[in-house]
Amino acid sequence: MKTPFFWYQPPGLLSTLLSPLGWFYGKVGKILCAFKKSKRFSIPILSVGNLVCGGAGKTPTAIALAQLLQKKGINVHFVTRGYGGIQEGPLEVDLTFHTSSDVGDEPLLLAQHAPTWIAKERPLGVQKAIEKGANLVILDDGHQTVGLYKDISLVVIDFFQGLGNGRVMPAGPLREDLKAGLKRTDALIGIGEGEVPFSKPFFRARVVPQPLTLSSNRVIAFCGLGFPQKFYKSLKDLGVDLVATESFPDHYVYKEKDLLRLQKLTKIHKAILVTTRKDLVKIPVYWRMHIHVLDINIQFEDAEGIYRFILQKIPFLKEAA
């Protein structure tokens, strides 16, 4: 779905009318967490998640954490639900075979960096990773996953996006009651400039857009993200002339008519198309040569500090390296 406009505005009539539903949704989440037994495994599980519905940057942060741990000699595997794909798993993502319609968009990005398992029942995916020799599993989008013990839970907050009106969906962007979500959080990773008003260990990170080689500086940007404004801001920061933007629902699967309409816009505006890597994997291959991609990396301000913090929580991890 598209992010409702009122989620990132001061609380108004619509969010107030919906707040009883948000209260109920938050209570259900609390009950599930309280009563569902968490299964433990023989290897540590590091959860990367967020408190809002999409857009915080959890997947690129999970990739950055995997790269950090891989440099330390740790065999990292990803486990994720595979949202948007038809496969329930558990199965390992095969980049030579699977498409976004099979496994979802984010698993295709994760699998470029480490073995990635999709599993509707996440414990089954963890078991498969163990069988294939993983030393540690990174649970992508795992903060609200119940029934699975996490040795460490990291929550990503993007300062540009923030927490919106502070209400639980559908009244606001929060996935659960803020206090409950923070209680299960070991540390926060804040992307961008800002400070967190919570008494939790905090590590700062930043988005590093990769260089763009464009045939024209006039750009039409399109994406299907939880918070598309971040993508558009990154392009503006690179100095492109952003003549138009087209926002689609999060995890949107592009249809031929969408791409034809976007192509028509390029002729009207004498511009080129730019999208994200997450969006590109959902576009037919024969269209991709006409579309430029903005790639980003997440860079930690104190990568060694994050690694030391992980070792404090999982001291035996050093032995696996």
pLDDT at 251: 87
* β-bridge mates for residue 245, sequence order: 221
Mean pLDDT, to the nearest integer, of 301-306? 97
pLDDT at 56: 86
Q: Counting beta carbons within 10 angstroms of the beta carbon of residue 179, is it exposed (0 to 12), middle (13 to 18) or buried (19 or more)? A: exposed
Is the pLDDT at 317 greater than 80? The verdict is no
At 112, the pLDDT band (50, 70, 90 cuts) reads very high
Is the pLDDT at 321 greater than 60? The verdict is no
SS (H, E, C) 111-176: CCCCCEEECCCHHHHHHHHHHCCCCEEEEECCCCCCCECCCEEEEEEECCCCCCCCCECCCCCECC
Lowest mean per-residue pLDDT among 3-7, 161-165, 279-283, 317-321: 317-321
pLDDT at 163: 93
Amino acid type, 65: L
At 183, the pLDDT band (50, 70, 90 cuts) reads very high
SS (H, E, C) 90-127: CEECCCCCCCHHHHCHHHHHHCCCCCEEECCCHHHHHH
Is the pLDDT at 78 greater than 70? The verdict is yes
Q: What does pLDDT average to over the chain?
A: 91
Is the pLDDT at 297 greater than 80? The verdict is yes
Mean pLDDT, to the nearest integer, of 58-80? 96
| Rounded percentage of the chain residues whose pLDDT exceeds 90 | 75
Element (H, E) at 59: helix 58-71
Mean pLDDT, to the nearest integer, of 156-161? 95
Give me the domains of the chain, ranges plus CATH numbers.
Answer: 5-75+135-206+299-320 (3.40.50), 211-294 (3.40.50)
Mean pLDDT, to the nearest integer, of 269-282? 95
Mean pLDDT, to the nearest integer, of 211-237? 93
